Structure 1
Amino acid sequence: MNKNKLIFLIIAAVFLITMIWIGIDISKRTTFPGSKGNLKERIAPSDTIK
């Protein structure tokens, strides 16, 4: 195997692992919008705006 091809594959693997790790981290910190209940604020807007 070429030295350049090996370096490319190593960098590509590190990039993919980093992207997967970031995606998992973001998905753990957020919730799906449909999973939230219907809050009063979402059903009827509050009258606090003047």
Structure 2
Amino acid sequence: MNKNKLVFLIIAVIFFVVMLYVGYDISTRTTFPGSKGNLKERIAPSDSLKTND
């Protein structure tokens, strides 16, 4: 294997590890929208969100 291929593979592996870490970090900080249940704010919008037409 020549030097250019080795450098490319090392950079590719580092990139994929970083992307996996970022994806895991984001997924642990957020929740699935369906797991929240039916909150009052989602069923009937509050008065502050209504527009005056």
TM-score relative to the length of structure 1 = 0.91
Matches of 1:29 and 1:10, distance apart in 2 = 29
Aligned residue pairs total: 50
Which aligned segments of 4 or more residues in structure 1 are displaced greater than 3 angstroms?
none
For residues 5-48 of structure 1, what are the alpha-carbon distances to aligned partners after superposition, in whole Å with 9 as ceiling and x for unaligned?
Answer: 00000000000000000000000000000111100011011123
Distance in structure 2 (CA, Å) of the matches to 1:6 and 1:31: 39
User: Under a length normalisation based on structure 2, what TM-score does the superposition of the two structures give?
Assistant: 0.86
Structure 2 unaligned residues grouped into runs of 5+: none
Unaligned runs of 5+ in 1: none
